[in-house]
Amino acid sequence: MDVKIHVTDREGNKQTISGPTDMSLNLMELLKVHEYEVEGTCGGMALCASCHIYINSKNNLPKISDSEQAMLDDNWDSKANSRLSCQIPINESIDLLTIEIAPEI
Amino acid sequence: MIKTDIIIIGAGPVGLFTVFEAGLLKLKCHLIDALPQPGGQCAEIYPKKPIYDIPGYPSIIASELVEKLMKQIEPFNPGFTLGETAQTIEKGSDGDFIIHTSQGTAHKAPVVAIAGGLGVFTPRKPPIENLSIFEKDNVHYIVKEPAIFNDKNIVISGGGDSALDWALYFAENFAASVKLIHRSENFRAHNDSVQKALEYANDGKIEMILNSQVSGISKNNDQIVLGVDSKNNEKFNITCDHWLPLFGLTPKLGPMGDWGLEIQKNAIKVDNSTDYSTNIDGIYAIGDVNTYQGKLKLILCGFHEAAIMVQSAFKKIYPNKNNVLKYTTVTGIKGF
Ligand SMILES: Cc1cc2nc3c(=O)[nH]c(=O)nc-3n(C[C@H](O)[C@H](O)[C@H](O)COP(=O)(O)OP(=O)(O)OC[C@H]3O[C@@H](n4cnc5c(N)ncnc54)[C@H](O)[C@@H]3O)c2cc1C
Ligand code: FES
């Protein structure tokens, strides 16, 4: 199936994008496919925080791992609803998630 | 003025391997890198992670790959300008390129190979008002000369390896006082450093201010006053001589963007059908920094580009000489 994600970019523009659940993509990769300005410098290893987003809707996302938490803790713009989008796999559980791309690092 | 055959900008894996390929053609190289150590992304972002797609190595740790590349290029005796950013490029009257670094070091060569990866590794600066005013004297993103911190009151922010390592270093070496401010209670640094820092905190050698972050800065004679906010909404000030916000480095294309090179999506456009030359004659771009249709940002692709590129560089430097490809198995390695 395809999931839908509501995205607000750094300029405040809103758009709904969709992505396939059967390509083992993560949300950072999906945002890049849709040409959003997330660098994904570390390729999705929770090592760079360039894929930082805020989650603005109720969700049951996977738990934050220690390495993701440590990366977020060392990041200036982190808030309680921060996540690294590379740590969120594209699957049914994130359908209709609302997210906002955090400021550039 | 440093003179050589090929100036290589960027001492990442691709820049390093270029020295080897050039050395086989008896071309001498000098590398410039903004980082204080060679290895590029492998050294700065993932030194301890295994790489699985280097031909011949089922698995190799990134820092080990860098060590092996350094060993491989040793016979060709490359020069290094480390910890300096290649800032400007101009053409001398003899047609050679002259490159000046941020610190003013001058380099001269007929050929330039840009192996700048994702760009210059630059410090991540906290978005605090007026911060830049203090960057000259009191705020430092990289420690270049530890001696200037002797007998000083130092505040370090961050929870990664560089924040912890420098906090430990200054606690052990001559600082008057060391405070470490971190947004949470978890650290991103190596466990050994974290354990040691916690011991030092117990012994009073480091004051740990956790769940807190600096939110403002102002001047007080020669010192600075940091406004700190804690997670439970307390606000307080810390007066100190130096603040080191150490939140890691992130790559930015940097000065190369202003050199008249054709740039596409933060990468330098090259001719991949021939020799990875850029739109400026004599300047090549290889590795992660270049782009062409079908480009893959992989180490092995950068290695291939380096081998092709130095053949073209040879013809540019010696237009009247013909180079015949020889296997290393036949010739061995003749250093210089
Ligand atoms: C977490 C992670 C995992 C990876 N895993 C793999 C993998 O498994 N396999 C694989 O093939 N690749 C992998 N990569 C990609 C690989 O690291 C890059 O392809 C490779 O590092 C590119 O090498 P490079 O020499 O072109 O550039 P870099 O390694 O980026 O080095 C470029 C250097 O140039 C310097 N520089 C730039 N501009 C200037 C300037 N103006 N002045 C001075 N210095 C400058 C920079 O400071 C930097 O040190 C991974 C990358 C990351 C981040
Ligand atoms: S891509 Fe680097 S942390 Fe997500």
At residue A66, what are phi and psi to the nearest 5 degrees? -60, -40
**What is the tens place of the pLDDT at every residue in B109-138?**
999 999 999 999 999 999 898 999 999 899
- Any atom of ligand 1 within 6 Å of the Cβ of B33: yes
Torsion angle of the four alpha carbons B271, B282, B326, B336, in this order, in degrees rounded to the nearest 10 = -140
What percent of chain A is predicted at pLDDT more than 70? 100
B78 interfaces chain A, CB cutoff of 8 Å: no
| Nearest CA owner, ligand 1 atom 3 | A42
How close, in Å, is residue A95 to chain B by CA atoms?
30
- The whole-chain average pLDDT of chain B stands at 95
Query: Would the pLDDT of B174 be above 90?
Result: no
Is residue B141 within 8 Å of residue B246, measured between CB atoms? Answer: yes
| A16: pLDDT strictly greater than 90 | yes
- Is it the case that residue A31 has pLDDT exceeding 90? yes
Q: Answer whether residue A21 shows pLDDT above 90.
A: yes
Q: Residue B181: name the closest of A66, A103, A73 by CA.
A: A73
Using pLDDT thresholds of 50, 70 and 90, give the confidence band for residue B190.
confident
- Is the pLDDT confidence value at A1 over 90? no
Long-range contacts of B68-73 (CB under 8 A, 24+ apart): B69/B13, B69/B16, B69/B17, B69/B20, B70/B16, B70/B38, B72/B17, B72/B20, B73/B16, B73/B17, B73/B19, B73/B20, B73/B23
Candidate from A26, A37, A42 with most ligand 2 atoms within 8 A of CB, to mutate? A42
Distance from CA of B183 to the nearest CA of A (A): 6
A29 near A62, Cβ under 8 Å? no
Q: Kindly give the distance from the C-alpha atom of residue B125 to the centroid of ligand 2, in angstroms, as a whole number.
A: 18
Taking the CA of residue A66 and the nearest CA in chain B, the distance in Å comes to 9
- Cβ pair A42:B46 closer than 8 A: yes
The alpha helices in chain A, defined as continuous H runs, are 27-33, 66-73
**pLDDT reported for residue A86:** 97
CA A104 to ligand 2 centroid distance, Å: 12
Strand B97-101 and strand B86-91: pairing? antiparallel
The reply to whether residue A77 touches residue B127, judged by beta carbons under 8 angstroms, is: yes
Helix/strand/coil (H, E, C) string of chain B? CEECCEEEECCCHHHHHHHHHHHHCCCCEEEEECCCCCCHHHHHCCCCCEECCECCECCEEHHHHHHHHHHHHHHHCCEEEECCCEEEEEECCCCCEEEEECCCCEEEECEEEECCCCCEEEECCCCCCCHHHHCCCCECCCCCCHHHHCCCEEEEECCCHHHHHHHHHHHHCCCCEEEEECCCCCCCCCHHHHHHHHHHHHHCCCEEECCEEEEEEEEECCEEEEEEEECCCCEEEEEECEEEECCCEEEECHHHHHCCCCEECCEEECECCCCCECCCCCEEECHHHEECCCCCCCHHHHHHHHHHHHHHHHHHHCCCCCCCCCCHHHHCCCCC
B267-303 pLDDT per residue, tens: 999 999 999 999 999 999 999 999 999 999 999 999 9
The b-or-e profile of B285-322 (16+ CB within 10 A means b, else e) is: bbbbbbbbeeeebebebbbbbbbbbbebbbebbeeeee
Give yes or no for residue B155 having a pLDDT over 90: yes
CA B83 to ligand 1 centroid distance, Å: 16
**pLDDT surpasses 90 at B90:** yes
Cβ proximity of B39 and B66 under 8 Å: yes
- What is the domain class of B2-121+250-331 according to CATH? alpha beta
Q: What is the pLDDT of residue B110?
A: 98
Q: What is the CATH number of the domain that holds A62?
A: 3.10.20.30
Return residue ranges of chain B for CATH 3.50.50.60: 2-121+250-331, 125-247
Ligand nearest to the CA of A70: 2
More confident: B5 or B145:
B5
Among residues of chain B, what percentage have pLDDT more than 70?
Answer: 100
Given a cut of 90, whether residue B145 has pLDDT beyond it is: no
pLDDT in tens, B17-73: 999 999 999 999 999 999 989 999 999 999 989 999 999 999 999 999 999 999 999
Q: In chain A, what is the straight-line distance between the N-terminal and C-terminal CA atoms, in Å?
A: 33
B45 close contact with A: CB closer than 8 A: yes
Q: Going by DSSP bridges, is the β-strand pair B267-269/B263-264 parallel, antiparallel, or unpaired? A: antiparallel
Rounded to the nearest angstrom, the minimum Cα separation between A33 and chain B is 14
Q: pLDDT tens digits, residue range B207-259?
A: 999 999 999 999 999 999 999 999 889 999 999 999 999 998 889 999 999 99
Q: Tally the domains of chain A.
A: 1
Question: pLDDT at position B73, please?
Answer: 98
- What was the pLDDT predicted at B317? 97
Of the pLDDT bands very low, low, confident and very high (cuts 50, 70, 90), residue B3 is: very high
Q: In A, which residues are within 8 Å of B250 by CB distance?
A: 41, 48, 50, 105
Q: Are B129 and B300 in contact (CB under 8 A)?
A: no
Mutate to test the pocket of ligand 1, among B299, B300, B303 (most ligand atoms within 8 A of CB): B299
At residue B143, the pLDDT reads: 87
The alpha carbon of B149 is separated from its chain's Cα centroid by a whole number of angstroms, namely 23
Residue B125 Cα to ligand 1 middle (Å): 21
> Could you give the CA distance from residue B8 to residue B302 in angstroms, rounded to a whole number?
13
pLDDT at B136: 87
Helix axes B299-317, B13-24, angle to 10 degrees: 40
* pLDDT given at position B34: 94
Q: Are B184 and B210 in contact (CB under 8 A)?
A: yes
Q: What is the mean pLDDT of residues A18-43?
A: 94
Would you state the pLDDT for residue B182?
A: 95
pLDDT, residue B175, reads 84
- Whether chain A has a CB inside 8 Å of the CB on B160: the answer is yes
Closest CA to B11 of B95, B116, B97, B88: B116
Residues of B in contact with A103 (CB under 8 A): 127
User: Best of A69, A86, A105 to mutate for ligand 2, by most ligand atoms within 8 A of CB?
Assistant: A86
Query: Which CATH superfamily is B125-247 part of?
Result: FAD/NAD(P)-binding domain (3.50.50.60)
pLDDT of the residue at B188: 86
Report residue A35: phi and psi, to 5°: 65, 30
Could A74 and B126 be called an inter-chain contact, meaning their C-beta atoms sit closer than 8 Å? no
Residue B4 has pLDDT above 90, yes or no: yes
* Confidence (pLDDT) at A96: 95
Say what the pLDDT of residue B198 is: 95
Per the CB < 8 A criterion, the answer to whether B12 and B319 are in contact is no
| DSSP code at position A52 | E
pLDDT tens across A70-102, in order?
999 988 889 999 999 999 999 999 999 999 999
Q: What is the extent of the structural domain holding A25?
A: 2-101
Q: From the candidates A50, A74, A105, which should be mutated to test the interface with B, based on the most B CB atoms within 10 A?
A: A74
Query: Would you call A67 and B186 a contact, using CB atoms and an 8 Å cutoff?
Result: no
